[in-house]
């Protein structure tokens, strides 16, 4: 596909359950970002990869959140022991590079995964 894809689109989890959210970035994009969007608010940064290296995870809200991108392409965001406050839309974005001109650093977003924790 031409754009960023995410799966599943919707996930309902019981409190305490572990979940895994997948992101397929645009082919060839070096940079990958995860954001969390609470209802009625703007997205907030969670973590950033350049190829397979996780260069910034300062936005992860707790050690229950873990992200990986082992081969520098697909990324997975894992949330352990989900809590109700984890309910949000999780957005993935990719860009060709993190630096350089506009052609390189424009971020393209996927449709998101809406997580509901009961």
Binding residues for other proteins, per CB under 8 A?
4, 6, 31, 33, 35, 40-45, 48, 50, 55-56, 59, 91, 93, 95, 98-99, 101-102, 105-112, 114
C-alpha dihedral over 95, 89, 60, 47, to 10 degrees? -10
58 phi and psi, to 5 degrees? -65, -20
> What share of residues in the chain are helix, strand, coil (percent, to 5)?
5, 45, 45
Residue among 18 and 106 whose Cβ is closer to other proteins: 106
Closest CB 31 distance from other proteins, rounded Å: 7
Closest CB 95 distance from other proteins, rounded Å: 7
- Within 13 Å of residue 76, how many CA atoms lie on the same side as its CB? 8
Closest CB 76 distance from other proteins, rounded Å: 18
Closest CB 100 distance from other proteins, rounded Å: 10
């Amino acid at each position: 596909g031409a754009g960023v894809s995410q799966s599943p689109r919707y996930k309902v989890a019981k409190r305490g359950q572990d979940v895994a959210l997948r992101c397929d970035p645009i082919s060839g994009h070096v940079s990958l970002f995860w954001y969390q969007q609470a209802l009625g608010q703007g997205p907030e940064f969670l973590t950033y990869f350049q190829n397979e290296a996780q260069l910034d995870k300062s936005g992860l809200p707790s050690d229950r959140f873990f992200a990986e991108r082992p081969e520098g392409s697909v990324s997975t965001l894992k949330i352990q022991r989900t809590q109700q406050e984890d309910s949000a839309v999780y957005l993935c974005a990719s860009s060709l590079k993190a630096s350089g001109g506009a052609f390189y650093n424009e971020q393209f977003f996927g449709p998101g995964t809406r997580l509901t924790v009961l």
